[in-house]
Structures are given as C-alpha cells and as structure tokens.
Amino acid sequence: MTTDLVNDQLGNFDHIQRVVIDLAIQFGPKVVVAILILIAGVFAGRWVGKATDRGLKKFNLEPPVRQLLVRIVRIFVLALFAIIALQNLGVELLPLIAGLGVAGAGVALAMQGVLSNMMAGLTIIFTRPFRIGEYISIVSEEGVVETISLFSTVLSHADQSRVVIPNRKIVGEILHNYGYIRQIEILIGVAYNTDLDKAIALAGDVLQADTRILKDPAPVIGVGSLNSMAVSISVKPWVNVPDYAATKSELSKAIVKVYRSKRIVIPVTTLPAATA
C-alpha cells in the first residue's frame, strides 16, 4: 500500500513536471519577449523624454511645466510598449481596459482631495500666476516660491523655514505676487517746526549711500501723514527680496542717526504702522 502511494505521488509529480514544461515551452518565449519589450520601453521612454526636454528648453517654459510634459511623454511611450507586451502574451485588452476603468472610478472617488490638488497644480503650472523665485503672499502665508509640483507649492520663509501649501488652497484665493523685488516703507515722525525739505533730503542721502537700494523703480520719499504731535516722513525704497528685512532695519537706524546728528526732533508719539 505504501508502494502504491509512493507511485501515485511520483506520477503526480511527473504530471506536474510535464505541465510546467509544456507551459514553459508554450509561454516561456512569449514571457521573455514581453520582458524584453518592457525593458526596451523603459530605455525608449528615457531617450524620448530627454529628447523632449531638450526640445522644450527652446520654448523657455517654466521648469514644472517642462518636467510635467516630459513625464507625460515617458509614460505614454512606456504604455505603448506595455500594450505591445500584453498583446504578445495574448491578453485580451478590451476586458482589461474596462476593468481598469471601473477600478479608476473607485480610486477617483477615494482620492478626491489628491485629485483636486493635482488639478489645481495643473492650473497653476499652465496659468503661471507666479514663478519659482518670486515672493508671494497667499492664504496668510508668504515667502519665496521654491518649488511648484502637481500637488503642492513650497515657499521658503524669511525665518529659514519652509511652508508647504496644498495647491487646492491656492487656486481661487487672492494672491499678492511681489515678484523679485519688494518695497520697504519706513515712517519716521518729526516735529511740526522741522524743515520738511531738509528732512526729506537727508533721508534721500541715506538711501543713496546704500548700494542695496534699487535705482529703478526710484524710491518714494515724502510726507506720509499728519498726526497730533508729529509729521510722518514716508521713506519707500525698493530692494531685492533677499535684502528686504536687513535693509529695512538698517535704513531705519541710519535715518534716525542722521536726524539726531542734524538736530531734527523726533517726538515721542505713536505713528501709523508701516505696511510690510
């Protein structure tokens, strides 16, 4: 009885071995060819992607737009090779596509937030309300645009931190784009008996001595407002975004020192807050 059991097991093993060999003979070459087709698709996608990237550089597109288009081209090329590989294996594509469509609908419902970020990212990339390197203020956050991706926008803040904003929080909001320069506003109160032309000229001399102050646009200096105890002198020069904080502080100090040295009285009073 034990001998019969062993013979049955050996017979089953021989049958399995024959089936495996038959399948390997029948489908092995097709599987190998399919794998080679996919490998060729990966290399072809890279080559076409690099060629596309070189071609798009001539159109002076934003880096996120160029990267997105290159990725789409690579995926398209790889998808074509994948279809060829599946056809080589004898897979029926119509039922597969239908199944993927149903699965895609379910995934879309489950990932509404992600998809909304992606659609907002596409809107930002193609409408270009701001570019990398520009200083923007939006949704109570501000900073220099560091990266723009399909799902989020990253700002570098003045305190060396990074602010990551989901793209759906940007589209439809009021955006203040400063560009690459910002305007400083300094308000300094002087006594009513002050020679205002002299005070304005002294502030102008301070600005001319600072190489960080831009000549174009020209600085704006004049009387800002009249208060109960002082006349406020408004000093509004333009600087590059990285120089904003340091220049504002140092200019305020320099103007105060010049006014004191020229005996221009700065009354103790509360002036309107200067805008950022």
- Asked whether residue 269 is assigned to any structural domain, the reply reads no
Are 134 and 202 in the same domain?
no
pLDDT at 13: 58
Pair (209, 250) in one structural domain: yes
Tokens of 77: 């090329």
Quote the Cα angle for 249-181-200, to 5°.
50
How many Å apart are CA 97 and CA 93, to the nearest integer?
6
pLDDT at residue 36, rounded to an integer: 84
Phi, psi of 35 (to 5 degrees): -65, -40
Specify the DSSP element, H or E, that contains 226.
Answer: strand 220-226
- CB–CB of 163/190 below 8 Å? no
- What confidence tier does 24 reach under pLDDT thresholds 50, 70, 90? low
- Domain-located, residue 107: no
Which tens digit of pLDDT belongs to each residue from 128-139? Answer: 899 888 999 987
- Same-domain check for residues 79 and 13: yes
Q: What is the 3-state secondary structure (H, E, C) of 226-238?
A: ECCCCEEEEEECE
Q: Are residues 222 and 198 in the same domain?
A: yes
Tell whether 228 is covered by a domain.
yes
Q: At what angle do helices 112-127 and 63-89 cross, to 10 degrees?
A: 130
Radius of gyration over alpha carbons of the chain, in Å? 34
Question: What is the CATH number for 16?
Answer: 1.10.287.1260
CA distance 119 to 114: 9
Distance of alpha carbon 200 from alpha carbon 185, whole angstroms: 14
Grouping H, G, I as helix, E, B as strand and the rest as coil, residue 234 is strand
Q: Say how many domains are in the chain.
A: 3
Nearest to 265 by CA among 188, 153, 207: 188
Residue 156 CA to residue 248 CA, distance in Å, equals 19
Answer for the pair 136, 176: CB distance below 8 angstroms, yes or no: yes
Same domain, 6 and 85: yes
| More confident site: 67 or 196 | 196
Could you tell me the CATH number of the domain that includes residue 192? 3.30.70.100
Residues 167 and 212 in one domain: no
**Structural domain of residue 148, as residue ranges?**
130-179
Q: Which one is predicted more confidently, 106 or 177?
A: 177
User: What is the average per-residue pLDDT within 63-83?
Assistant: 80
Q: Taking the model in full, what pTM does it have?
A: 0.63
